[in-house]
Structure 1
Amino acid sequence: MRFDLVTLNLVLAIAETRNITRAAEREHLALAAASKRLKDLETRLGVQLFERRARGVETTEAGRALVRHIRSLNASLHALESEVVEFSRGIKGHLRVAANAAAIAESLPGDLAAFSREHPQIRISLEDLTSAEVQAAVADGRADVGIFVGPATDGRLSTWPYRAGDLAVALPRGHVLAGSGQALTFDQLLDFDIVGLPSGASVHQRMLQRALEAGRTLNARLQVRGFDAIAQLVDAGLGVAVLPAAVARRFERLFAIEVRPLDEPWAHRRYLLAARSQPVLPTVVQRFIDALVARAAEA
């Protein structure tokens, strides 16, 4: 079944405006032509995409599914156009990388810089996502390579070991748990408010799981994106936090916080590189994965 972009963009416009007349105007179509295009598409698909109401139209379940794919298609077309245009400027490839915040904060910048120096004609774009979001982005084709904290939970991915890191506890200076310099267990933190990353972040999911196993409640009162925001909230005395140790040590020099080791088996974490499973990876993707695996082995 063939689709034309004019009709698909009309469907998107109707869904967004909830009005066929306004959608036709937006897409520079006569109302009669727009109505015919919509009717023909619904006939070909064998489903109703919109329900006509007194105040406009409502998208059906089938219509919402189609709209999701249209948006994904438009994003891919935009990326295609941008990437092809870049070839005229000497760019030979575009690599979309999605990584979780800890990987970006701990080790990824140096590896990206080294790869860019060795491959100046490959443009890299980087998106900060939770580990769960990274896996979904790679599996759905919105990113070429993902970097996240294992384990991998999406069967559509192939993974490679990358780097490792430890978690630590950040406390406000003067906190009742501060001062001794000894490692803390996670159970000791459950009596206090927790400042952390949003749901979906690997460390949040791990803390939630551990609290449930202990029959306790995770007092995740403040959830923000960004380790610097977490450190500032801990500095303000609004809770305690579990952060990548390397990141926490950097913030210890900037804010009034104290960093202590976290004495838990899951405090030692391994990062994974991931790409969508396929018989042969694109050359740029394979080259990037090989480079990062090699640098991690050297480290």
Structure 2
Amino acid sequence: MNLVLAIEQTRSITKGAAREHLALAAASKRVSDLEARLGVQLFERRARGVEPTEACRALVRHIRSLHASLHALESEVVEFARGIKGHLRIAANSGAIAECLPADLAAFLQAHPQIRISLEDMTSAEAQAAVADGRADVGIFTPPVLDNRVQHWSYRPARLAVLVPEDHPLADRSAVTFSDLLDYDLIGLHAGASAQELMREQALARGRTLNARLQVRGFDAIAQLVEAGLGVAVLPEVPAERFSRVFKVRLLQLNEPWAARDYCLGVARQERQPAVLQRFVESLCPQSKVDQTAPPRRDPSDNQDLQNRKPA
């Protein structure tokens, strides 16, 4: 595979063979053998070298992906020699990262310093898919749960709030409804973010259109755009309250039933979770320890005894 990559990059079997320290005849035979095994032509021979076919380009994409995976594998295994005892890959939505997850991660790492954690910011749907497909060990997201391959527990309650500019017509209120906001431009996260999709659904339910003219990545960018008077925003209450102390914006309560929501913690369904993962789940969701306890198994003879009993 390294030979194929070298030839694709140099556009020459001769140069590719030299880079991999192979004789030209040996390199040619390896390419021919691989083409025979795959049943496709990888390179078109030309007067001034070779040109990769579409099949070769597809193969090269996989080779590069394998190289990246092998590098990650090596890096992770080397960490065990340095005293690391486990690695957790966490995919979480922006709200959980901004509201509650950092403190819980810090507490867990303080109690388990030999465990390494990788955290990636994803939408709720992406986090669930990453867990279901095995690209993440843990997902933190808001409902609904979209994949039955994901086992989940309630993690933390949360609430959405509203930010408006200080001189906005709604700024003198303490609370607003979602209908109050639909007359103004709404600043939100990128498409696919759970709060953004929820607002779109709520607007449609009211027969209105969501004026989502500005969509950015990051709550701090949203707060700055609100301060500049470019619109209003609905975002998690904890970062919203924090921004109200930093920027020239007002924090308003959102009087809607759907403003109260929960963050969920999800893992892939399997009969037995790895010890490190189970410890993490129980740390963030103590109720999971009870949920995972299997019900007592009934002795098969009990069923036979019931069948043999005659009514009195």
Cα deviation, residue 272, structure 1: 1.1
What letter is aligned with 1:77?
A: L
Matched, 1:242 2:234: yes
Hey, what's the Cα distance between the residues in 2 that align with 1:166 and 1:136?
Answer: 24
Matched, 1:116 2:116: no
Cα deviation, residue 140, structure 1: 2.4
What letter is aligned with 1:188?
A: D
TM-score after normalising by structure 1? 0.83
Q: Which runs of 5+ in 2 are unaligned?
A: 290-312
Cα deviation, residue 82, structure 1: 1.4
Q: 2:188 aligns with which of 196, 215, 235?
A: 196
What letter is aligned with 1:59?
A: E
Partner in structure 2 of residue 277 of structure 1: 269
Matched, 1:133 2:126: yes
**Residue aligned with 1:274, SS:** strand
Hey, what's the Cα distance between the residues in 2 that align with 1:216 and 1:136?
Answer: 31
- What pairs with 1:85-234 in structure 2 (closer than 5 Å)? 85-182=78-175, 184-234=176-226
Hey, what's the Cα distance between the residues in 1 that align with 2:10 and 2:232?
Answer: 46
User: What do residues 173-216 of structure 1 show as CA deviations (whole Å, max 9, x unaligned)?
Assistant: 1111221212x222222222111111121111111222233332
Hey, what's the Cα distance between the residues in 2 that align with 1:269 and 1:14?
Answer: 54
Identity of aligned residues (%): 60
TM-score after normalising by structure 2? 0.79
What letter is aligned with 1:198?
A: H
User: What do residues 34-56 of structure 1 show as CA deviations (whole Å, max 9, x unaligned)?
Assistant: 66545533433445668899994
**Residue aligned with 2:261, SS:** strand
Q: 1:82 aligns with which of 65, 75, 95?
A: 75
Q: 1:251 aligns with which of 240, 243, 247?
A: 243
* Larger CA deviation: 157-166 vs 28-37: 28-37
**Residue aligned with 1:253, SS:** helix
1:52–1:58 contact (8 Å) kept in structure 2: no
**Residue aligned with 1:162, SS:** strand
What letter is aligned with 2:123?
A: T
Query: CA 1:10–1:121 in 2, change beyond 3 Å: closer, same or farther?
Result: same
1:10–1:23 contact (8 Å) kept in structure 2: no
Q: CA-atom RMSD, angstroms? A: 3.1
User: What do residues 85-132 of structure 1 show as CA deviations (whole Å, max 9, x unaligned)?
Assistant: 112211111111111111011111111111111111111121112212
> How many residue pairs align between the two structures?
286
Structure with greater Cα Rg: 2
